[in-house]
Amino acid sequence: MSNRQDLYAHSCHYVQIIKQQKVFINSLRNAGMSVGPQPNYHAYDVFRALRIIDTKGPIGRHLLRKKMELTECSVRTILKKLLRDGFIESTQHGQVITQRGKEYLDAQPYFRMASHVDAGRLSLGPYDFCIVARQKSASVSNGISQRDEAIKIGGDGATVLVYRNGTLTMPPGFMDIESDYPEDVSTLCETFRFNDGDVLIIGSGSTRRQAELAAMAAYDAL
């Protein structure tokens, strides 16, 4: 086989990885197995609440509950924790973040470069949340452990891409995927200013919350 044919064969293999992830998820569901725990709220939701209060505050509890896609009881519990830790303050107009809360939020890696972006054909579900992990390429082997953690937490999965030589590549072979997904790669590169060695995690889920949790769990699996 010539080098050109070999590269083409490898490229086709990597393009199939996303499809295989979807088949894997569906096989679990068809077997009647749960694809992830469904707690009232997760520890990641505390970070999510703080971020929403930081960007949307002052914000009332009712609106916060809608944005977080959680129950009233769960949001009330989270707010009590944030108030107790001195990360937020309650005002007549709603919850606001404190300086201590800002410093705590800035110390978390999940939202430094993150956004809800439609990943198109690179997506594994209706909603996507992308996190850029700066200079984390050495932590990526095949992306399977990140996918599994995203599923365990209740998401539809996670796609892991590495920015190399000016373009996004897919593990394990780190082949250039731009020719197969030109519009999707263009959208992601325009949204995030990648540097060589950066890792892009696309968490997917049936809701915005599940997509965020999937991406955060996948990030922690790097």
Q: Domain locations in the chain?
A: 43-106, 110-220
Predicted pLDDT of residue 134: 94
d(CA 10, CA 153): 31
Average pLDDT for residues 161-176, to the nearest whole number? 89
Terminal C-alpha separation, the chain:
35
DSSP three-state, residue 168: strand
- Given a cut of 80, whether residue 94 has pLDDT beyond it is yes
- Given a cut of 60, whether residue 14 has pLDDT beyond it is no
124: nearest Cα among 4, 37, 20: 20
**CB 56, CB 71: distance < 8 Å:** no
Q: Does domain 43-106 have CATH number 1.20.58.220?
A: no
State the pairing for strand pair 199-205/157-164: antiparallel
- Quick check: do 43-106 and 110-220 share a fold? no
**Average pLDDT over the chain, rounded to whole?**
85
* SS3 per residue for 28-76: HHHCCCCCCCCCCCCHHHHHHHHHHHHHHCCECHHHHHHHHCCCHHHHH
Question: What is the band of 2 on the pLDDT scale with cuts at 50, 70, 90?
Answer: very low
Task: Output 94 or 12, whichever has higher pLDDT.
Answer: 94
Total residue count of the chain as it appears in this document: 222
The residue type at 87: F
Predicted pLDDT of residue 45: 92
Task: Output 140 or 4, whichever has higher pLDDT.
Answer: 140
Question: What is the band of 148 on the pLDDT scale with cuts at 50, 70, 90?
Answer: very high
In tens, the pLDDT along 189-208 reads: 999 999 999 999 999 999 99
Residue 168: Cβ-neighbour burial (10 angstroms; 0-12, 13-18, 19+): buried
Predicted pLDDT of residue 208: 96
Sequence-ordered list of residues with C-beta below 8 angstroms from that of 8, at least 6 positions apart, any chain: none
State the pairing for strand pair 127-133/114-115: antiparallel
Q: Does domain 110-220 have CATH number 3.40.50.1390?
A: no
